[in-house]
Chain A
């Protein structure tokens, strides 16, 4: 019988060419029973939001290492709102200083996970906070 699945988009915006962390998270979420769309490296905010819209995801997870988080993440958040993706759960993974984290939460980022976050932590945060029914 058909059933509802949590769909997650994992993207790696920015220019650095390293996505091991993003891939690890993608696998963890698959193992937690979610459908994970992985978009690969060097995604522009426009590409991320276009993919999230077509894939009708419940969760967008951005992995950021480059330190460009304060330009890229707000851009994605803004575009997502513009495209009416308001109910999507928005997560960021990476090294984010506390002050920036506060600012990002104000922009609508729902969860921020540092390099020390455990897989269970991320998966259960998603299942508990997914906004769509």
Chain B
């Protein structure tokens, strides 16, 4: 039986192998996606992001336990950064979740960012598809500890939880602006710590300023949790379910799904064009153009146009040729 059939039959090892195939890329990954894609689109995808050390992994663990208690199966993808120096990575999110490792209704996968900058790995989207086809009801994606530009999770998840915590050094900045904007649910974790009230108030103020006449029809709830003691997990899980219900009732789920599909398609088309173009460009031609740009004989835009134009001309010629023959 091939891997995708085994995945659809509920084989955990096949799920693990397929995620690896997605990470390694190539033809077999594409074929697998083509086969499993019709079985995706069922899972509720929840992103968990926030600055490093705010308690994301601990919170994901508590949420996963809570949702298991509600009869849901859970997939977890936890992304940590790849070291730019060695290309290696130390993936530590799993430490906080290991107790759930042996539960058949849980599947946890650690993923290295492999140079990707948006807080996710290149293969995270495809790994989500694997776990979706595997039949997980809920898929949680923990991003790399994020700053304000690590917002790619907003184009991968239905519901984004942004986690903040007191005592992260800088006093005034609660959450970074970019993160605040993508939050569907805001959490102040480590509510047992000094300063939690202040963090909470700051976020509350940001929320109030953000609401000029209720332009948004979903007001992100602001919750306090103590993940380390499991406190607040029930309320947070409720909020996650309420957000999904809101997406469904308002029709936003369809729009969001559509938007995600467009963004993904655009990204893949861009990558594909790039790969094909560079696969076709003659090395000598490339070096000669680059040389001219370096020596100021040609500006970079004109040089790029020359390359891209000749790529598309080549395509048209080829197609006309085919047309003639048939």
- Could you list which residues of chain A lie within 8 angstroms of chain B, going by C-beta atoms? 1-5, 7, 26-27, 29-40, 43, 46-47, 50-51, 53-56, 83-84
Question: Of the candidates B13, B17, B123, which one forms a contact with A83 in the assembled complex, judged by CB atoms under 8 Å apart?
Answer: B13
Shortest distance between the CB of A15 and any CB in chain B (Å): 15
A54 to B86, CA, bound (A): 24
Contacts A2-B23, A37-B94 given: A53-B87 contact, CB under 8 Å?
A: no
Question: Of the candidates A5, A38, A56, which one forms a contact with B94 in the assembled complex, judged by CB atoms under 8 Å apart?
Answer: A38
Sample of 20 more A-B contacts, CB < 8 Å, known A35-B91, A37-B110 = A2-B26, A4-B24, A5-B23, A5-B114, A30-B90, A31-B83, A31-B85, A33-B88, A35-B89, A37-B91, A39-B95, A40-B94, A47-B99, A47-B101, A53-B16, A54-B16, A54-B101, A56-B16, A56-B19, A83-B13
The contact sample of 22 A-B pairs, CB cut-off 8 A, is A2-B23, A2-B24, A2-B26, A2-B123, A7-B20, A29-B88, A33-B87, A35-B88, A35-B89, A35-B110, A35-B112, A37-B91, A37-B94, A38-B95, A40-B95, A40-B98, A46-B102, A47-B99, A51-B98, A53-B16, A54-B16, A54-B101
Q: Are A38 and B24 in contact (CB under 8 A)?
A: no
- A-B contacts, CB under 8 A, total: 91
Contact with A along B155-177 (1 / 0, CB 8 A): 00000000000000000000000
- Could you list which residues of chain B lie within 8 angstroms of chain A, going by C-beta atoms? 12-13, 15-17, 19-20, 23-26, 82-83, 85-92, 94-95, 98-99, 101-102, 107-110, 112, 114, 122-123
A30 to B85, CA, bound (A): 10
Q: Which B residue's beta carbon lies closest to that of A27?
A: B90
Q: Are B90 and A1 in contact (CB under 8 A)?
A: no
Residues of chain A with a CB closer than 8 A to B24's CB: 2-4
Residues of chain A with a CB closer than 8 A to B108's CB: 51, 54
A58 to B149, CA, bound (A): 33
Question: Of the candidates A36, A56, A83, which one forms a contact with B91 in the assembled complex, judged by CB atoms under 8 Å apart?
Answer: A36
If over half of A's interface residues share one DSSP class (helix, strand or loop), that class is named, otherwise mixed; here it is mixed
Question: Of the candidates B17, B25, B86, B98, which one forms a contact with A31 in the assembled complex, judged by CB atoms under 8 Å apart?
Answer: B86
Q: Are A26 and B90 in contact (CB under 8 A)?
A: yes
Q: Are A2 and B25 in contact (CB under 8 A)?
A: yes
Contacts A2-B23, A53-B16, A56-B19 given: A31-B95 contact, CB under 8 Å?
A: no
Q: Are A51 and B20 in contact (CB under 8 A)?
A: no
Q: Which A residue's beta carbon lies closest to that of B101?
A: A50
Q: Are A55 and B110 in contact (CB under 8 A)?
A: yes
A52 to B107, CA, bound (A): 12
Residues of chain A with a CB closer than 8 A to B109's CB: 54-55
A64 to B109, CA, bound (A): 24
Contacts A2-B123, A53-B13 given: A39-B102 contact, CB under 8 Å?
A: no
Q: Which A residue's beta carbon lies closest to that of B88?
A: A30
Q: Are B12 and A54 in contact (CB under 8 A)?
A: yes
Residues of chain B with a CB closer than 8 A to A47's CB: 98-99, 101-102
Contacts A56-B19, A56-B20 given: A51-B92 contact, CB under 8 Å?
A: no
Top 6 A-B pairs, shortest CB-CB distance: A2-B25, A30-B88, A40-B95, A56-B16, A50-B101, A33-B88
Contacts A35-B89, A50-B101 given: A84-B25 contact, CB under 8 Å?
A: no
Which of B15, B87, B90 has the most A CB atoms < 10 Å from its CB? B90
Contacts A2-B25, A83-B13 given: A39-B89 contact, CB under 8 Å?
A: no
Shortest distance between the CB of A94 and any CB in chain B (Å): 20
A7 to B108, CA, bound (A): 15
Contacts A33-B86, A33-B88, A35-B89 given: A55-B16 contact, CB under 8 Å?
A: yes
Q: Are A5 and B86 in contact (CB under 8 A)?
A: no
Q: Are B98 and A30 in contact (CB under 8 A)?
A: no
